[in-house]
Structure 1
């Protein structure tokens, strides 16, 4: 049983699922099929709160809708518990790729923290290799079905532990063997990117791409540290950059905005924002603006020229897909196909690929939308 696909949403008479998409912010341990969790938990002797896949999907959604990132993150205890063996990691990674392809994704980056998957006796290198095997099996399965997809790994360090330099070295070691970038994740407040300066120095010296979770559970100082200390090329979420915007006057649809220095830098340098609308509501990242999708500053950032991208964050926890996120945004802000294409082009330009590969991806998106 795959993650729910939420119907075949239509926009201007076109299936959103059929459109080519790019997924940049998608956690491996947040994208398990409920049935897979049940089966792997049975093999590992892990207790699950619900015995049926649909009921377990409901449980994840209910538990995640707390308004707190800390509470939201607790749901990962279950998914990580069933991802401690080579076979478990391979299966989850393979299904991750298949589910992306079923949602129309042609390029994706999967982020996950190897240090959280050593309970079964595997080494850091072995867990990365197991996930890569699963990714390649998924890519092959998709190709045999007549479609194409490519997925790269974002090797992630947990920001509340002290292994970030070791994980950065691991990421660089697997460059060319699946790893395309580095990230830090976990509880953001109280654990700034500056704590991991040694890791970011190592990555910079190796010219290895970095994205950093920032501007989700913490504000502008976290974003500033991601850019200055982390040399981040993208911001994981980054939604709270809107705190550096001062709405001076609003007349109907006309809005005059005064930019702070940080917001202007992010906008003018076209630093991509990995926005995840449903997740941002669940974790309270946009609580300062409201509790409904229409309150999300996504549209304000888009209209002001920020490099916004659309992402799922955690498909299982938010019970979502990229098709669903795009459909929700289109309904909330009356977006057209041209807008949805712009989001995909932003994501393609932000992908941790060579410029030739990004140009090829951009061409595929253009062809898919024009068709």
Structure 2
């Protein structure tokens, strides 16, 4: 169903209030109701459906900096999890027309179906500039309470992300076997189960394009909850263990720190995003909250060994504190926007991690070599 030109005009009023007292008034572009969350922004021009279904956005109200969102619709092929986990969505203009041969529906319908609140018609440039100046802030998005003072008070009283275990809200409760590859790649047969490398993915809120990459390279792939113990993981006889992305603050996840600290001595380990932070914490480093985070598909990172610059997909609000880095870890990559650590390697075991998304979805493919690097580690004799 194609929305009419009058849909936004007749849509209910929606308001977004920040904890600093700023209130933006627009129109509802999704479900009705009220939610709170940390207000952040993403600089991607495309990939809004992958952003919506990335579990790393749990607890956040995501603002898109590109002015028109929804123009190519939505489809089942591009989702990165079974349903959106973010709290709310903010756009300048929600496209009234979905025009793409792969489209199976409109963005507004998709948001309503999954009960995601969204606001359109506000000055997203002003909102993003405020976040960049003052930092990510708690906010409330509502279509039911339109009193400015009330909304600001709710934003100020809402919980932040620091100190909360958000992983428990998005990770699976049981283990599963992954059997889907990448459509655009020629699949490498996984073998009869005896000779194929076995990747155990620890799911802290994992994007689905990650196990697709592992499976497409001929690996057997098992997914376990991020709360699994090292003993439970090793019972699956992994050739390598992958630490996934996920939402929120990595420091409260003490169960993961302990488990990863035990694993790095037994099996090859590769982590991305939250997995990168958890590996660093497990080795003795500390993390800190970034002012407004790194979110987009256009983030430059330099590989220090070669000097090569990669354009990467990123989505994180925390980073590893360089002054706390233990002697056992060496820095392998740097974010060129703010010089923060974007990758580390364990000097003794070879465990490694990066603070970005080499699987993209959406985004550039510059960093696919990291999957091959992990593949080589798994093939090395014990």
TM-score normalized by the length of structure 2: 0.32
Answer 1 or 2: which has greater helix percent: 1
Higher relative contact order (CA 8 A, sep 6+): 1
Structure with max Cα Rg: 2
TM-score normalized by the length of structure 1: 0.33
